[in-house]
Structure 1
Amino acid sequence: MHDQLGPADSVLRLVDREVPEPTTGEVRIRVAVSGVNPTDWKARTGLYGGGDPVESVPNQDGAGVIDAVGPEVEGLAVGDRVWVTLAAYERPGSGTAQEYTVVPASRAFPLPGDASFELGASIGIPAITAHRALTVAEGGPTRLAPGALDGKVVLVAGGAGAVGHAAIQLARWAGATVIATTSPAKTSYAETAGAHHVVSYQDPDAADQIRAFAPDGVDIVVEVAIGTNNDLDLAVLRPRGTIAIYANNGDKPLTVDVRPNMGLNTRYQFVLLYTVGWEFLTAAAEDINAAITAGALPVGENAGLPLHYFPLDQTAAAHQSVESGATGKVLVTVADL
């Protein structure tokens, strides 16, 4: 936990806390694996701003087993294997980097079949972000399933990242032609994830390469660095296409030139899960579980998303790994369930 903002090795510490009890509409989860996302270290450092620091347990995503259920909870029971997301949103003590966490039942979702806790802790924010980005285009679809993106071309910027990985897999499962951009050193990650075509964003003819795969243009761009990539996106976007923006890695400001966007009828859609609305999060979780059941959303080295493990008492090192740009998914192992 931490009760002040700052570097991971300075403010994060392992402490004993009372095991909380769930109240109305809540469940208690015995955490097996906690997932670390960029949003976790950014919140811990104060990058998002905010008021005075409060006692907080880090990490929004995780997976484990329900071991207590509060009144008025339906559809979940003690013993259920679940994955959880946004555990600490407006509940700073409910982060998943602890042995037990209590969350509203609406934030916990059944972990299908024999899906691993590692998978459950890896999806959460990355997969729901990808789902949202793939379902905001004019005319839909608003849900993902096999055939939902038939005939569509999706460009995934940063195809080697966790969100990019999920976007490749979900788009391909839904029937899209998937093009990804990566650095030359990370091409294999996007290829292994299932991208039909991978282009180095460093190539001066990157737009021409993408256009060769999509002569009529790209329908949806899943964008991680809009300030840097906007010119490339506009060069390959079809008229009335959508650029779904979930981050701006590199921090180059986005400058919007009206004329080319008017000509394309471009739709810029910003994506942030904290304020997107729980009805969209719940719908995304249902589709993600369907993809998991179909075997379409694997993680690990053989799926293009290496997993990096840290024990609970090394959560600070896990945060540092994500903050320094580790390729793949960083996980904190909490319990062997």
Structure 2
Amino acid sequence: MRAVWYERTGPAAKVLTFGEMPAPVAAAGEVRIRLEASGVNPADVGRRGGNYRAMEYPRVIPNSDGAGIIDQVGDGVKRFKVGDRVWLFNGQRNGRAFGTAAEYITLAEHLVTPLPDHLSFDPGMTAWCGLFADGPIVGKTVLVTGGAGAVGHYAVQLAKWGGAEVIATVSSSHKAEQARRAGADLVINYKEEDVVAKAMAFTHQRGVDRVVDVDFGGNLAATLKLMAVNSTIAVYATNGNRNPVVPMRELMEKCIALRALVLFALPPPLLAAAQADITKWLAAGPRLHNIAGQFALSETAQAHLAVEKGDKLGTVIVDCAR
């Protein structure tokens, strides 16, 4: 099969190799997926660049998310058959060296979910877990930082579907329009407006119940000022300040829960609930899916660079079939 891999971390153009590898074979409890699309996340870029941790395997096929068609079913698999369209997550994470930047991947069936015919990529496990891991959000106010980003755009849509009022922060007028189209009730341009003042006014000075945060360290000073009592901050990235000092007294005085998220470490029942709920959400009506860029498999290095730049609007996709 055609695949992209690296055997040392570093710049994408220097360490990513495009070539031929043996295709995997589905073992017991696994399915093999002929991949149509591979999603490139900041975590994938960080692992390849060496920013997350040292190399865990001699050779790594990058990228965790993807979608495609099942073409092999291992012994004991009951949920799927050959020909089913599916999406997947945790393709390359702890315990797995080979991800979705390839023509094929084998994966345990519990990491695979049916995909409606009109969709072609992963619809947002991180967004769902940030919103719902700590319970229902009906009647609550949710703040989504980076409300036009790959995770944030789905978080806004899922939060509205979940019955919340949604505040989204963005960095430009174009991104503001994207967040509004996704359903945000209030959009704040954090480069031009006072996020705390506007969020507190929107909540009648009560504060927000849940934050889905793309930059915990960078946003922390402002976030603590707008949290309600018995609220939750769900963190899936912290690039603005990777080692923030957390003022515990302020968290304690408002009983603020801090939830750190990385998909491969979350409990399987929570991930299963996310898969089931996302399927319901997709079936309930048309959804917005922003594609920031689409690249051929041989152009995976360029796809990684597109994510690395930090100015994308939506999800970067590698087309594994070309």
Is the structural similarity TM-score above 0.5?
yes
Range of TM-score over shorter length? over 0.9
Determine the structure 1 residue equivalent to 2:176. 187
Indicate conservation of the 8 Å contact 1:61/1:122, yes or no: yes
Residues 1:235 and 1:180: Cα distance change in structure 2 (over 3 Å): same
Measured in 2, the distance between the counterparts of 1:155 and 1:93 equals 35
Superposition deviation, residue 150 in structure 1: 2.4
User: Is 1:62 the equivalent of 2:52?
Assistant: no
Alignment of 1:12-51 (within 5 A): 12-51=16-55
Indicate conservation of the 8 Å contact 1:199/1:206, yes or no: yes
Measured in 1, the distance between the counterparts of 2:143 and 2:231 equals 11
User: Is 1:224 the equivalent of 2:224?
Assistant: no
Instruction: Give the number of aligned pairs.
Output: 315
* AA matched with 1:220: R
Q: Name segments (4+ residues, structure 1) moved above 6 Å.
A: none
Residues 1:236 and 1:52: Cα distance change in structure 2 (over 3 Å): closer
Superposition deviation, residue 174 in structure 1: 0.8
Identity in percent:
40
User: Is 1:313 the equivalent of 2:303?
Assistant: no
Deviations 1:75-123 (A, max 9, x none): 10000000011112245443111111111111111113x2321xxx242
Measured in 2, the distance between the counterparts of 1:150 and 1:103 equals 34
Q: Secondary structure at the match of 1:180?
A: strand
Q: Secondary structure at the match of 2:316?
A: strand
Q: Which moved more, 1:258-267 or 1:273-282?
A: 258-267
Determine the structure 2 residue equivalent to 1:84. 88
Determine the structure 1 residue equivalent to 2:281. 291
Deviations 1:57-86 (A, max 9, x none): 111111110001010111100000000111
Structure 1: runs of 5 or more not aligned: 142-148, 300-304
User: Is 1:129 the equivalent of 2:126?
Assistant: yes
Normalising by structure 1, we get a TM-score of 0.89
Residues 1:81 and 1:2: Cα distance change in structure 2 (over 3 Å): same
Indicate conservation of the 8 Å contact 2:291/2:317, yes or no: no
Determine the structure 1 residue equivalent to 2:255. 265
Indicate conservation of the 8 Å contact 1:169/1:296, yes or no: no
User: Is 1:116 the equivalent of 2:101?
Assistant: no
Superposition deviation, residue 275 in structure 1: 0.8
Measured in 1, the distance between the counterparts of 2:185 and 2:234 equals 20
Q: Secondary structure at the match of 2:244?
A: coil
* AA matched with 1:180: A
Residues 1:98 and 1:252: Cα distance change in structure 2 (over 3 Å): closer
Indicate conservation of the 8 Å contact 1:224/1:245, yes or no: yes
Q: CA RMSD in A?
A: 1.7
